[in-house]
Amino acid sequence: MLISETRFCEFHLLTACNHSGLEDKAKDYFQLMKMEYGIEPSIKHYKCMVDILGQAGLVEEAEEVIRSMKMEPVVVIWGSSLSACRSHRNMELARWSAENLVELDPNESSGYVLMANMHAASGLFEEAMDERVSMKEKHVAKEPGCSSVEINCEVYEFASGR
């Protein structure tokens, strides 16, 4: 088996663990991949691990994975971390993730929006407004939410925030 095929298989194994909620198995496979087989994780492997750990509420472990990366984290890593922090109400790690997300892509609205929502949910309305004002001052626009449904072979699209 070629090394690229192995990476492909490892990624799908981690993805299966993610969809099945098997974070312990995913951690084992991730370590085996590195230690036993000498496969250097790709950005996709790291993103998958951050997703798995974040969904399981293990946001501190997800932070450790990010800090252990041999390459610089990309926007999707920070977005995944921020989303997990929001779900599990970890404001400190959320700030760290949002700062890194905005630093990498200042026009990405999700960092501002998720932090504003977290502040508002925590009753910190002034901080929530500060996030929204910062977006406006930097001319960062929130992407509209879109959904579609097919009824009788016709597609209807709905959008919010336009």
Q: How crowded is residue 154: how many other Cβ atoms within 10 Å of its Cβ? A: 7
In the block, residue with structure tokens 């406006």: 136
Cα gap 73→80, rounded to integer Å: 11
Domain ranges of the chain: 3-160
Tens digit of each residue's pLDDT (9 = 90 or more) over 22-44: 778 888 888 888 888 888 888 88
Q: How crowded is residue 48: how many other Cβ atoms within 10 Å of its Cβ? A: 24
The answer to whether the CB of 142 falls within 8 A of the CB of 109 is yes
Give the range among 53-57, 74-78, 130-134, 140-144 with minimum mean pLDDT: 140-144
Cα gap 7→81, rounded to integer Å: 23
Instruction: Report the topology of domain 3-160.
Output: 1.25.40
Tell me if the pTM is above 0.85. Answer: no
